[in-house]
């Protein structure tokens, strides 16, 4: 059994503990430990990615108990992909945080980051639905700490709302889990998958309630309308590196939806009657609309970026809601893209604020010290988030449109996605021309952006370019990923021991 796959859940907390023990007052040491760990994690998750890329499903049985009685970690293509994405993003984030001295604006940034990484990694790796709840809580509470990092009234207020909203979400999560356990008597995802698939359609009410309540929990994370209200203020007020890191947090919701509503409560499952897709698609369309409208109407950079994030989640979830392998592959491609592009946007927004002495509103101001450079970065981020060529966002949108072609309601999807991009283009054009063109002649008061921060950001841009250039191999891999996710029998067989597999399993 390969012990490698547990390291992302063991090393970061230990490093965090060491920081708490030894480096509580030594920022420099904390920085070294933090960067070192993240680099290690990138390498590790790259290795795991390579290991899972051929379709191998590795199962790690915690405490050596037979599945489904203990907790298992499951590493397949999807979780490996998400893991790698998380770690790469974290690397850029930690470098930016150091380069921009954000990590010095409050205590324990790096310790919290370590815990944050662990929580996200756990959510991607676990094969147990209650353990998923635990890791949701880990990543949430860490995110509470990071969100209010540095303090300040508006941020703290936004923090209170963020925490309150997510506590409501956690409560709902437990209601859903209780119902699931009360019906199926199991918590292991693979076991759930096979049992739900075997359930009698005439006793579907309870399990459907459970599934739908759980969907709402993930919808909160993924900020699907009408459960998106927590996002704008949170993202707008959070420290920039944290907001950028949150780009992966919404994806945790999307990931969970894919994992649970394809693998467990899949569209083909008798008791579910395919209700999830029917309800998710309209919600996703509205989410896209709300997001793009928000981009158009945004008065401040923070809200511009936040609503762009909502809009991108809308596009992503449209593809998810198709619940077809093609749609899922498109969703995954767009997920990788929008995570990176969203992070870039938030980092650029921070550079702009820094260059404008903290001014966040979209009003004319003195030109930035590095106007051309940052304008270019903003253009790149805008192109990415609006889904224009030549960046991967455009390819992602084409994939989504192509996948939606065959489903009913395709016209709606096409209309929403295309009009949505137009609205986003207008919104970003307005914002950009105010920020970079409509500048006053007054000398800039802000300080220039450090080269480390720039390097981190350009690193992410570089990844976007790679994702575009190597779209062929990428999409091929993602097709395989989607296929593996949709192969329920295969996943069940790979996770459960033969004696635990029920007869007539799908």
Partner 1 sequence: MPLILIALLPFLGAFLPAVMIRGGRNAAALSAGSVTMAAFVGLMLHAPAVLRGEVITFRLDWMPVLGLNANFFLDGLGLLFAGLILGIGLLIILYARFYLDRADPMGAFYTYLLLFQGAMVGIVLSDNVLLMLVFWELTSLSSFLLIGYWKHLPEGRQGARMALVVTGMGGLALIGGMLILGQIAGSYDLTVILTQKAVIQAHPLYIPALLLILLGCFTKSAQFPFHFWLPHAMAAPTPVSAYLHSATMVKAGLFLMARLWPVMAGTDAWFMIVATTGLITMVLGALIALFKDDLKALLAFSTISHLGLVTMLLGFGTEIAAVVAIFHIINHATFKAALFMTAGIIDHEAGTRDIKRLGGLRRAMPITFVIGTLAALSMAGVPFLNGFLSKEMMLEEVTKTTWAGSPVTLSIVVTVAALLSAAYSFRFVVHVFFGPERHDYPHHPHDPGPGLWLSPAFLVVLVVAIGILPAAITGGIVASAGQAVIGAAELPYYSLKIWHGFTMALLMSVVAVVGGAALLALHGWIAPLWQRAPRPEAKVIFDAVMGACVAGARRVTTGLTNGSMTRYGAVFALTALIAGLAAWLSGTSAPPVRDMRAITPVDAIGWILLVVATLAALRLHHNRLVALVLVSIVGLVVAVTFVVYSAPDLALTQALVEVVTVLLLLLALDFLPRETPREDPMPVHLRDGAIAVTVGIAAALLTYAIQVSDFAFESISAYHLENSKTLGGGYNVVNVILVDFRAFDTYGEIIVLGIAALVIYAMTESILQSRAGRRLVDRPVKLDAAAELHPLMMVVATRVMMPIMLMVGIYIFLRGHNAPGGGFIAGLVISIAFLMQYMASGFEWAAARQRVPYHGLIGAGIIIATLTGVGSWLVERPFMTTNFGYFNLPFIEEFELATAALFDLGVLLCVFGAVMLALESFARLAHRRGERASPNAMDVDPSRDIVPDLAPNLAKET
Partner 2 sequence: MEALYSSAIGILTAAGIYLVLRRRTFPVILGLTFLTYAVNLFLFASGRLVRNMPPLLDETTTPTDPLPQALVLTAIVISFGMTAVIVMLALGSWLSGKDDRIDQPADDGQPREGGQS
Position among 475, 483, 490, 501 found at the interface with partner 1 (CB under 8 A):
475
Residue-level length of the chain? 506
Position among 8, 159, 169, 365 found at the interface with partner 2 (CB under 8 A):
159
Please give, one letter per residue, the 3-state secondary structure of 7-32.
Answer: HHHHHHHHHHHHHHHHCCCCHHHHHH
Which part of the chain contacts partner 1 (CB under 8 A), choosing from 50-58, 348-356, 388-396, 489-497? 388-396
Q: For residue 72, give the 3-state DSSP assignment.
A: strand
Asked if 421 touches partner 1 (CB under 8 A), the answer is yes
Q: What are the structure tokens assigned to 66, written together?
A: 């037979």
Alpha carbon distance 86, 146 (integer Å)? 16
Least distance in angstroms from the C-beta of 223 to partner 1? 11
Which part of the chain contacts partner 2 (CB under 8 A), choosing from 147-155, 377-385, 389-397, 473-481? 147-155
Q: Which does residue 8 bind out of partner 1, partner 2, none, counting CB within 5 to 8 angstroms by kind?
A: none
Asked if 70 touches partner 1 (CB under 8 A), the answer is yes
Asked if 270 touches partner 1 (CB under 8 A), the answer is no
Nearest partner of 332 among 426, 409, 395, judged by Cα: 395
Least distance in angstroms from the C-beta of 13 to partner 1? 6
Residues 354-383 that bind partner 1 (CB under 8 A): 372, 383
Q: Which does residue 274 bind out of partner 1, partner 2, none, counting CB within 5 to 8 angstroms by kind?
A: none
Q: Is residue 28 packed enough to be buried (19+ CB in 10 Å), middle (13-18) or exposed (0-12)?
A: exposed
Which part of the chain contacts partner 1 (CB under 8 A), choosing from 36-44, 76-84, 192-200, 247-255? 192-200
175 or 412: whose CB is closer to partner 2?
175
Residue 422 CB partners (closer than 8 Å, separation 6+)? none
Alpha carbon distance 143, 165 (integer Å)? 13
CA-angle at 315, arms to 235 and 159, nearest 5°: 15
Which part of the chain contacts partner 1 (CB under 8 A), choosing from 33-41, 47-55, 78-86, 432-440? 432-440
Alpha carbon distance 54, 3 (integer Å)? 19
Provide the mask over 238-257, with x wherever binding to partner 2 is found by CB under 8 A and - wherever it is not. -xx-----------------
Least distance in angstroms from the C-beta of 384 to partner 2? 23
Position among 2, 56, 171, 278 found at the interface with partner 2 (CB under 8 A):
171
Position among 8, 122, 127, 145 found at the interface with partner 2 (CB under 8 A):
145
Nearest partner of 71 among 80, 60, 57, 83, judged by Cα: 60
Least distance in angstroms from the C-beta of 353 to partner 2? 5
Residue 144 CB partners (closer than 8 Å, separation 6+)? 159, 162, 163, 166
Q: Which does residue 174 bind out of partner 1, partner 2, none, counting CB within 5 to 8 angstroms by kind?
A: partner 2
Asked if 427 touches partner 2 (CB under 8 A), the answer is no
Q: Are 99 and 455 in contact (CB under 8 A)?
A: yes
Taking phi over 0 as left and psi of -120 to 50 as alpha, with beta for the rest, 67 belongs to beta
Position among 108, 110, 337, 356 found at the interface with partner 1 (CB under 8 A):
108
Least distance in angstroms from the C-beta of 18 to partner 1? 7
């Amino acid at each position: 059994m390969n012990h490698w796959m547990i390291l992302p859940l063991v090393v970061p907390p230990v490093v965090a503990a060491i920081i708490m023990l030894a480096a509580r007052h030594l920022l420099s040491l904390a920085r070294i430990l933090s960067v070192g760990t993240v680099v290690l994690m990138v390498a590790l998750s790259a290795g795991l990615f390579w290991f899972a890329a051929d379709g191998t499903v590795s199962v790690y049985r915690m405490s050596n108990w037979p599945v489904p009685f203990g907790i298992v970690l499951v590493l397949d293509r999807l979780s490996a992909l998400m893991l790698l994405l998380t770690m790469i993003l974290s690397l850029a984030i930690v470098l930016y945080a150091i380069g921009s001295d954000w990590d010095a604006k409050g205590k324990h940034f790096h310790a919290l980051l370590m815990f944050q990484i662990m929580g996200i990694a756990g959510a991607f790796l676990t094969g147990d639905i209650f353990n998923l709840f635990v890791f949701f809580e880990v990543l949430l509470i860490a995110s509470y700490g990071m969100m209010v990092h540095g303090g300040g009234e508006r941020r703290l207020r936004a923090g209170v709302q963020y925490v309150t909203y997510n506590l409501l979400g956690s409560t709902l999560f437990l209601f859903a889990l209780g119902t699931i356990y009360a019906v199926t008597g199991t918590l292991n995802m693979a076991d759930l998958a096979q049992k739900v698939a075997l359930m009698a359609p005439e006793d579907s009410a309870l399990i459907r309630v459970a599934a739908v309540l759980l969907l709402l929990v993930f919808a909160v994370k993924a900020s699907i309308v009408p459960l998106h209200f927590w996002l704008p203020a949170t993202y707008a007020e959070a420290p920039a590196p944290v907001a950028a890191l949150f780009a992966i947090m919404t994806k945790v919701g999307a990931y969970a939806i894919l994992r649970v509503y394809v693998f467990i409560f899949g569209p083909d499952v008798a008791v579910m009657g395919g209700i999830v897709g029917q309800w998710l698609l309209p919600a996703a369309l509205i989410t896209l609309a709300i997001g793009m409208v928000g981009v158009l109407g945004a008065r401040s950079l923070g809200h511009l970026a936040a609503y762009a994030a909502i809009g991108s989640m809308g596009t992503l979830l449209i593809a998810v809601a198709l619940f077809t392998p093609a749609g899922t592959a498109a969703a995954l491609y767009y997920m990788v893209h929008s995570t990176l592009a969203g992070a870039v946007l938030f980092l650029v927004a921070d550079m702009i604020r820094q260059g404008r002495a903290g001014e966040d509103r979209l009003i004319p101001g003195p030109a930035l010290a590095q106007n051309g450079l940052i304008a270019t970065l903003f253009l790149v981020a805008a192109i990415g988030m609006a889904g224009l060529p030549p960046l991967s966002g455009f390819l992602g949108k084409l994939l989504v449109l192509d996948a939606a072609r065959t489903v009913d309601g395709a016209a709606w999807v096409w209309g929403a996605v295309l009009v949505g991009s137009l609205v986003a283009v207008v919104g970003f054009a307005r914002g950009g021309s105010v920020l970079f063109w409509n500048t006053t002649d007054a000398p800039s008061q802000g300080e220039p952006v450090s080269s480390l921060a720039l390097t981190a950001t350009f690193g992410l841009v570089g990844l976007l370019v790679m994702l575009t250039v190597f779209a062929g191999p990428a999409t091929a891999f993602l097709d395989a990923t989607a296929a593996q996710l949709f192969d329920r029998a295969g996943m069940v067989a790979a996770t459960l021991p033969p004696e635990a597999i029920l007869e007539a399993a799908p």
